[in-house]
Amino acid sequence: MNDASASLKSKITLLVLVTGIFFFNFISRILPAPLMPTIESDLGLDHAGAGGFFLLISIGYCTSLVASGFLSVWLTHRKIIIISSLATGCALLFVASSETRWGINLALVLLGLAAGAYLPSGMTTVTSSIKPANWGKAIGFHEMAPAVAYIAAPLIAELLLRWLSWQGVLASIGIASMLIGVLFLKLGKGGDFKGEIPNYQNVRLLMRQPSFWIMTILFSFGIATSMGIFSMLPLYLVADRGFDRSYANTVISLSRILPVVMALLSGWMSDRMGPELTIKGVMMFNGIMTLLLGVVPGNWLLFMVFMQPMLSVCFFPAGFALLSGSTPSNVRNISVSMTIFFAYLIGAGLIPAGVGIMGDAGCFALAFAIVGGMIFASAILIRYLKYSEVRNA
């Protein structure tokens, strides 16, 4: 590769630009959540249909994660980052301009396809440009993007809905995603190398490792406790708990402020405590809080809305540090893409869809409790995780 590993401070411009792209990449996939009460009313959807929106995005996203390994053989990671940012913006414009359910469904799959190309190349660019001893801090900074997106999405939705339709809100974010892609094209440096093709031999070797499947399960519930719960929470509060839509979105946005602080601390926690211990503690806490979100009475519900996401962001720096530390940089994109392929499909697709189906059956609260119990139980898998890290101080 062309970039030598460097200190965190010397790569701050790269980190800021890549984090900015990740922000719009992420918000493009979660923005339908705070818009969902309006979208349901406008399109005549039931809760299962609303959950299906996120399943369609996840199908496209996961497909793109696998395809990105082949794409990185022909294009550098830097070019893939730029293309993904521009294509994500175009896909949002397609969603906004579609006039039929079939057109919207196709556009949502394309949105997932465009967004999914980013993460393997983005993570590879970050970890190849920063000294391994600082990976936790660098990835923690990178993970500020989803932390801030969780705050911004409800606020953007409520602010822009005063003047625009839900289609106009999506189109606005699409234009912003294209602009940040152009900015990275002009100023971004890093990732100027190609990846290793995910051929049968290295994919087979990866998938034969028990640790791969353990990390896949952990990432599934790590994604579920953040994006999966967030996707259905506005609808749950409005349709099942009687919240006003604007009030629900405001509360959800405010509840994501503390996770931004935790995103900054999470990298330090991972470097200091070790990723295994960090993940175990985070999954147990997240599981309990998600379970309580479904079972507490109304007086305690508001408190749980604030508590549930508090440590969710802390999973990812530790999780990605384990993934990045277990493989050489030239095949790191394969490890990331294959793990996130399964994890995103489950955590951000099947779980929200399942919650929506249970919501239609009158079991919205029970669905949250079941998901919380599964997240808590996944912490036991850490004891079976035996990674041999290649990180150097």
Number of folded domains that form the chain:
1
pTM: 0.75
Hey, is 6 helix, strand or coil? strand
The residues with which 6 forms a beta bridge, in sequence order, are 130
Task: Please state, in angstroms and as integers, the Cα–Cα distance from residue 247 to each residue in 159, 169, 243, 250, 310, following that order.
Answer: 12, 19, 7, 5, 20
Alpha-carbon dihedral sign for residues 61, 373, 317, 261? positive
- Residue 165 inside a domain? The answer is yes
- Residue 4 inside a domain? The answer is no
What does the alpha-carbon distance between residue 97 and residue 365 come to, in Å, rounded to a whole number? Answer: 34
**Can you give the residue range of the structural domain that contains 22?**
9-384
Predicted local distance difference test score (pLDDT) of residue 314: 82
User: What residues of the chain score a pLDDT lower than 50?
Assistant: 1-6, 387-393
Supply the DSSP symbol for 132.
G
Task: Please state, in angstroms and as integers, the Cα–Cα distance from residue 393 to each residue in 137, 160, 298, following that order.
Answer: 13, 47, 49
What does the alpha-carbon distance between residue 62 and residue 68 come to, in Å, rounded to a whole number? Answer: 10
CA angle 260, 263, 268 (to 5 degrees): 145
- Residue 1 inside a domain? The answer is no
- Residue 390 inside a domain? The answer is no
- Residue 223 inside a domain? The answer is yes
- Residue 65 inside a domain? The answer is yes
Predicted local distance difference test score (pLDDT) of residue 237: 92
Q: Which CATH number belongs to the domain containing residue 288 in this structure?
A: 1.20.1250.20
Q: Which of 369, 360, 349, 350 is nearest to 47 (CA)?
A: 360
Q: Which of 388, 79, 52, 57 is nearest to 232 (CA)?
A: 52
pLDDT digits (tens, 9 = 90+) for 193-218: 666 666 667 677 777 777 778 888 99
The residues with which 130 forms a beta bridge, in sequence order, are 6
Radius of gyration of the chain (CA): 19
Q: Which of 280, 275, 288, 273 is nearest to 381 (CA)?
A: 280
In terms of Cβ atoms closer than 10 Å to its own Cβ (0-12, 13-18, 19+), residue 186 is: exposed
- Residue 389 inside a domain? The answer is no
Q: Dihedrals φ, ψ of 29, to 5°?
A: -95, -20
Check: CB of residue 194 under 8 Å from CB of residue 73.
Answer: yes
| DSSP assignments along 43-107, one per residue | HT--HHHHHHHHHHHHHHHHHHHHHHHHHHHHS-HHHHHHHHHHHHHHHHHHHHH--SHHHHHHH
What does the alpha-carbon distance between residue 179 and residue 176 come to, in Å, rounded to a whole number? Answer: 5
Amino acid at 119: L
- Residue 391 inside a domain? The answer is no
Hey, is 386 helix, strand or coil? coil
Predicted local distance difference test score (pLDDT) of residue 172: 95
Q: Which of 31, 74, 275, 323 is nearest to 167 (CA)?
A: 31
Torsion, CA 216, CA 384, CA 143, CA 351, rounded to 10: 40
